[in-house]
Amino acid sequence: MQTPVLYIVIPCYNEEAVLPITAPLFLEELTLLKTEKLISDDSRIMFVNDGSKDKTWEIITDLSKQDKSYVGVCLSRNRGHQNALLCGLMEAKDLADITISIDCDGQDDIKAMTEMVKEYHTGCEVVYGVRSKRDTDTFFKRFTAESFYRLLNSMGAEVVFNHADYRLVSSRVLKEFSNFKEVNIFLRGMIPMVGFKSTSVYYERHERIAGESHYPLRKMLALAFDGITSLSIKPIRIITGIGIFVSLLSFIFIIYTLIRYFTGNTVEGWASTSSIICFLCGVQILSLGIIGEYIGKIYLETKGRPRFIVSERTYDEDSDC
Ligand code: UDP
Ligand code: MG
């Protein structure tokens, strides 16, 4: 097999504190892979600036001037991690044979790339990076993150446990993936849908080298909710189930009330009546809310707006980097 061109795709949002530290680490790994003849000399590190408000883009353009291994794409505004990553992957799919996506904060073990590329050479088109331990995460982060994967799987969104977006994907898979046109994207749940031979490599997750996390609990919950409602209709099924169950209970209750009425025991139970009304109101509003979520998604999908807009590149779009 010819040595493949690798593009390492790295979304960056307000990462001026960490980029100057991690960029050379990525280059080091790229050079190592080149010297081991695992990848071609045309391989690159592609930073995607997700509308940062700090000096991130300046740092990326400087890097691209220093070394031609660094290239950069700039989004016209902040679109969030998933869209920024998608943009990088879509840019890279025509330039590379394989891509590895990774965060720019050095939390994921950069050295695991060697194993990923080796797995590609054995015929795997997708290689998932899976966190073997989370010792450096706080108990709270570990608990919420692991509950996140359990919740996703129990709700029918199939994801690889403890795999975030550190993964090798071949351009062949990405070309097929580009036919997935939805705007509500959750890459780690969608890539497995494409299929092809896949495997996992395990690594230890470190602490962030510098800067702050952009994924507080609030955003993680939003991501989990997005993942579930984008990938599965199980919540609607659960609501239907609850609806049937509650209706059945109400039916039994009506029979009970009628029996009491005909036996002359019609003592008005204010507490039970009002609690039932409250309960049903609650269930209905919740159900409407969840159904509304799906309708909202349909609304967004029908508009088919672009998922990202590139404003600048450090390379010429039509030529090879
Ligand atoms: N990120 C991005 N756009 C955003 C938020 C984050 O491109 O709106 C990038 C960020 O620069 C980093 C990656 O997504 O490379 C993961 O973010 P972070 O490390 O803050 O999340 P955590 O690892 O704490 O879950
Ligand atoms: Mg991080």
| Closest to 25 in 3D by CA, of 55, 61, 63, 57 | 63
pLDDT at 317: 77
Q: Which residues contact 300 (CB under 8 A, 6 or more apart)?
A: 183, 184
Which ligand is nearest to the Cα of residue 164, counting in written order?
1
pLDDT at 268: 67
Ligand 1 center–CA 13 separation, angstroms: 6
Calpha distance 125→175 (Å, rounded): 12
| Closest to 230 in 3D by CA, of 188, 192, 185 | 185
Calpha distance 46→84 (Å, rounded): 11
Up-side HSE of residue 119: CA atoms within 13 Å toward CB?
22
Q: Which atom of ligand 1 is nearest to the CA of 50?
A: 7
Dihedrals phi, psi of 307, to nearest 5 degrees: -80, -20
Calpha distance 18→207 (Å, rounded): 12
pLDDT at 321: 55
Which ligand is nearest to the Cα of residue 81, counting in written order?
1
pLDDT at 250: 77
Low-confidence ranges of the chain (pLDDT < 70): 1, 134-136, 266-271, 274-275, 278, 281, 319-321
**Among 103, 104, 223, residue to substitute to test ligand 1 (most atoms within 8 Å of Cβ):** 103
**Among 214, 215, 307, residue to substitute to test ligand 1 (most atoms within 8 Å of Cβ):** 214
Name which residue sits closest to atom 19 of ligand 1, judged by CA: 213
Domain ranges of the chain: 6-213+306-313, 234-303
Calpha distance 84→95 (Å, rounded): 17
Ligand 2 center–CA 31 separation, angstroms: 24
| Spatial contact of 12 and 50, defined as CB atoms under 8 Å apart | yes
| Spatial contact of 72 and 7, defined as CB atoms under 8 Å apart | no
Ligand 1 center–CA 198 separation, angstroms: 25
Range list of H helices, 95-233: 112-121, 139-154, 171-177, 187-194, 217-231
Looking at residue 5, what DSSP letter applies?
P
What CATH number should be reported for the domain whose range is 6-213+306-313? 3.90.550.10
Name which residue sits closest to atom 2 of ligand 1, judged by CA: 81
pLDDT at 1: 63
157: left (phi over 0), alpha (psi -120 to 50) or beta: beta
Q: Which residues line ligand 1 (CB under 6 A)?
A: 11-13, 15, 50, 78, 80-81, 84, 103-105, 107, 213-215
Calpha distance 143→151 (Å, rounded): 12
Calpha distance 136→112 (Å, rounded): 18
Name which residue sits closest to atom 24 of ligand 1, judged by CA: 213
